[in-house]
Every structure is written in structure tokens, then in C-alpha cells.
């Protein structure tokens, strides 16, 4: 049964103030770094890729914009074909609007999955959160570059979060067809033993592969060569590269593939355990967060804007803290304030460089060996381990409180067997 979002009045006031501050800061950003109406670089690559496919040219042979190549599977270019038929301005408006709608949709899906009634206060909080998410560098970066991450997040969320889904797996399959790393979230289906959903996701992905071959002349080049060359995506020395492989090389000076593989295996094990705990606690939103963060950590290359998993994480924190503390109306308002404090603390290294330049990963970029350069990925790992530990602790506490009383607990004074009556 759904319940009302606790602390909604305070959340609305606090988020309104935060949104006004964000918009004020964004209005002072110099030209070229703002979110104004211009065709972002990554969206331009998508459009040029779609146009090259429309022209019948080879997609992976040469870069499309400067030295930027097309790094996505062929199916993505087949999808971008129709977008390339529009003017750049119209394509930008439609794309960024779709990103904004996807962001709002994910927030409302998480609220609903966490048992909250989608009424007027919840919708108001959701819309304010949609704008407030610009406080996270992964979200702002997705809009700034015109990235596809938020749309992929929505596809996966539509698969994972609803309790009843007639055709589960299609969203994950489509997301994997557009960009390979979302396939990692299929781990959730396996741990749920939802074999049908896993099968549908694989089948959907295979359909995207076939579509790619139908429309992209050099589709085989991607599957044979391009997908194995992470240098096409970016270089590990770039401070925006935020996966274990990049951090090991850039910050710790470790270029060993063996060390990276050990880190990947340990991370996958931690993610599997964390997802299992989340599912056991009937928290599919946190299962999504943990699997998503895990995919960003173990990927051979992840940009900072791939970490859009901070969106469902923030909503989970808000709901979790307000539910924990909001037993009365006043405690719910206090819980609402504390929930926003919790979100700020947990997401410190993911802060937007426009709002908190010293905390953002940009702040330590001048010194690649500075310890704060580890924070972006390390906080992701801490979220996984922290939730897992809290889940086990909560279950142990719950099991202890449910333990049946001993036979003599009803009368502590009665500790000996009564004498038999005399003959």
C-alpha cells in the first residue's frame, strides 16, 4: 500500500531555495560552459553519425567531429538516423526535452517503487528534484554534452522498478543495444531468478544487433575491433575518466591489467552481494543504484557523466531518511531537512563544478595524485558496501527482535520446577 511522501512541505520549500540558487549560479556561467541553446558536442556526434549512415558511408572508419569518433553500437546510429534529418536546433530542443522528461520520469518511478503515493505534493517534489539534480556533475554533464545517459537510465528503470511488468527485459536489452555497459544491470534479473526477463533482455539485444547490421555498412567493424578499443572513448589521463581502470592508472600509477581484473572481480562480487541484499529487503531502487554504480566502476572506460545513478540514489536517501524519522508531522519536517543533508554528504565528490568547484573532481584535476581524485569512484564503492552492511545489520536486529521469549520469560521469578504435591 502506498503512503504519502513524508516531510513534503519542507522538501518543497528547501528544494525551491536550492533550485533558485542553482539557476542563479547557472546564469553567471560564461559562454561556452553554460547550458544555453546550442548543439552539444556529443549530440553533434550522434547527428553526424546518423547522417553518415543516411549517406551510406562507413560509420567507424574516421572521426566525426574533430577527433571524436562514433563509439556506440551500430543500433545507436540506426536510431539516430531520424534525428539527423532534423535541423540541429530542433534536434537539440527535442533531445534535451527528452532528457529532462527522462530525469523526471526516473524520479517519479523511484518514489512509486519506494511506496510513495504520486499525488500533488510528490509530483511537486519530483519536479523540483528534476531541476535540483543539476547540482550533480553527472547530471549536468549529461545535459552539457547532450549525452544519452538519462534516457538509458529511464529504459532500465522501466524494466527494474515496476513490480508488475508484462514484458520485462526489453528496456535493459534496448539500453545495451544503444550502449553496451547497461547490460551489466541484467545482473538484477539473474539474482531475482527472473529467467524470462533475462531471456527477453538478451533477445532484445540480439534484435538491436541485427538492426545495426541492416542499416550500418561497417557494423562488423564495431563488433570485431572498435568495441575492444577503449582509447576510442577517451584516455585514462583525463580527469573526467571515472572507472577503476582510469583511476588506477591516473591516480595510483598502476597500469597492470592483472590488478585491474582483480579489482573488477572483487567489485562484481560486492555488487552482487549488495544487489542481493537490496532485493531481499524489497528495495529494487537500491538494487538499480548498486548495479549501475558497479557498471561504471568495472567498465574499461567510464566518463563522469555515466554516473547518473546518483539520481535514484538521492531519491532513495530522501525517502529512507524521512520514513525513518517522520513518525510525527514535525519529525517528518526535520527528517526532510536531514535527508537533504544526507544526500549532500554522500554525493560530495559528484557535486557540480558550477556550484562547488573545490569539491568537484575538477577541483583536484591540477594534481592527478591528490587523494581527492579517488573520491569519485571510492564514494561509489562506499555506497555499495555501506548499504550492504546496513542491510545485514538491520536484518540481524530484526531477527533479534522477533526471537521468541524463553519458556520462563513470562515469570522471571519462576526459575525452578515446582514441588510435586504431597501424597
The sign of the torsion formed by the CA atoms of 384, 385, 391, 392 equals: positive
Rounded-to-10 torsion of CA 376, 380, 381, 385: 140
Helix residue ranges per DSSP H, 133-243:
137-145, 149-160, 170-178, 187-192, 195-215, 219-224
Mean pLDDT score of the chain: 90
Residue 128's pLDDT is 98
Of the candidates 377, 373, 320, which has an alpha carbon nearest to the alpha carbon of residue 110? 320
Q: For a pLDDT cut of 90, what percent of the chain falls above it? A: 75
Orientation angle between helical segments 284-298 and 310-325, nearest 10 degrees: 140
Residue 32's pLDDT is 75
pLDDT at residue 413 greater than cutoff 70: no
Rounded-to-10 torsion of CA 378, 358, 143, 314: 50
User: Residue for cell digits 545495451?
Assistant: 176
Instruction: Give the pLDDT confidence of 330-340 residue by residue, as tens digits.
Output: 999 999 999 99
The sign of the torsion formed by the CA atoms of 103, 292, 372, 244 equals: negative
Which residue did the predictor score with more confidence, 364 or 49? Answer: 49
Instruction: Give the pLDDT confidence of 268-297 residue by residue, as tens digits.
Output: 999 999 999 999 999 999 999 999 999 999
Averaged over 149-178, what is the pLDDT? 94
pLDDT at residue 186 greater than cutoff 80: yes
Residue 415's pLDDT is 41
pTM across the whole model: 0.91
Residue 93's pLDDT is 94
Q: CA of 303: how far to CAs of 136, 172, 234, in Å?
A: 14, 20, 8
Instruction: Give the pLDDT confidence of 370-397 residue by residue, as tens digits.
Output: 888 899 999 999 999 999 999 999 888 8
Averaged over 27-48, what is the pLDDT? 87
- Joined together, the cell numbers standing for residue 267 give 567489485
Amino acid at each position: 500500500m502506498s503512503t504519502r511522501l513524508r516531510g513534503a512541505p519542507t522538501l518543497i520549500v528547501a528544494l525551491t531555495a536550492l533550485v533558485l540558487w542553482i539557476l542563479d549560479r547557472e546564469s553567471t556561467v560564461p559562454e561556452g560552459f553554460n547550458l544555453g541553446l546550442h548543439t552539444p558536442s556529443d549530440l553533434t556526434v550522434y547527428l553526424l553519425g546518423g547522417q553518415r549512415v543516411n549517406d551510406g558511408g562507413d560509420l567507424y572508419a574516421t572521426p566525426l567531429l574533430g577527433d571524436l569518433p562514433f563509439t556506440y553500437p551500430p543500433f545507436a546510429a540506426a536510431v539516430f538516423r531520424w534525428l539527423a534529418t532534423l535541423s540541429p536546433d530542433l534536434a537539440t530542443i527535442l533531445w534535451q526535452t527528452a532528457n529532462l522528461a527522462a530525469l523526471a520520469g526516473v524520479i517519479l518511478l523511484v518514489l512509486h517503487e519506494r511506496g510513495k503515493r504520486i499525488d500533488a505534493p510528490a509530483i511537486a517534489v519530483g519536479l523540483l528534484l528534476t531541476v535540483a539534480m543539476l547540482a550533480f556533475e553527472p547530471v549536468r554533464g549529461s545535459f552539457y554534452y547532450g549525452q544519452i545517459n538519462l534516457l538509458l537510465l529511464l529504459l532500465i528503470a522501466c524494466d527494474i522498478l515496476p513490480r508488475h511488468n508484462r514484458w520485462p527485459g526489453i528496456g535493459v536489452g534496448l539500453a545495451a543495444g544503444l550502449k553496451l555497459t547497461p547490460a551489466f544491470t541484467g545482473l538484477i534479473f539473474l539474482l531475482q531468478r527472473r529467467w524470462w526477463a533475462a531471456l527477453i533482455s538478451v533477445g532484445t539485444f540480439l534484435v538491436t544487433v541485427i538492426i545495426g547490421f541492416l542499416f550500418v555498412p561497417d557494423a562488423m567493424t564495431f563488433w570485431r575491433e572498435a568495441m575492444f578499443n577503449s582509447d576510442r572513448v577517451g584516455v585514462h589521463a583525463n580527469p573526467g575518466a571515472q572507472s577503476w581502470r582510469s583511476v588506477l592508472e591516473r591516480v595510483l600509477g598502476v597500469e597492470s591489467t592483472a590488478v585491474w581484473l582483480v579489482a573488477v572481480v572483487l567489485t562484481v562480487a560486492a555488487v552482487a552481494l549488495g544487489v542481493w541484499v537490496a532485493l531481499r529487503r524489497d528495495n529494487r531502487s537500491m538494487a538499480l543504484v548498486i548495479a549501475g554504480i558497479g557498471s561504471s566502476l568495472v567498465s574499461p572506460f567510464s566518463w563522469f557523466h555515466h554516473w547518473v545513478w546518483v539520481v535514484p540514489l538521492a531519491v532513495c536517501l530522501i525517502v529512507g531518511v524521512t520514513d525513518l524519522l517522520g513518525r510525527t508531522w514535525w519529525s517528518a519536517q526535520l527528517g526532510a531537512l536531514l535527508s537533504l543533508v544526507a544526500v549532500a554528504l554522500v554525493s560530495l565528490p559528484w557535486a557540480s563544478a558550477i556550484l562547488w568547484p573545490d569539491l568537484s573532481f575538477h577541483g583536484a584535476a591540477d594534481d592527478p595524485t591528490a587523494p581527492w581524485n579517488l573520491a569519485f569512484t571510492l564514494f561509489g564503492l562506499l555506497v555499495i558496501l555501506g548499504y550492504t552492511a546496513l542491510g545485514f545489520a538491520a536484518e540481524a536486529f530484526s531477527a533479534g527482535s522477533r526471537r521468541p521469549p524463553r519458556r520462563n520469560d513470562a515469570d522471571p521469578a519462576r526459575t525452578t520446577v515446582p514441588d510435586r504435591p504431597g501424597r
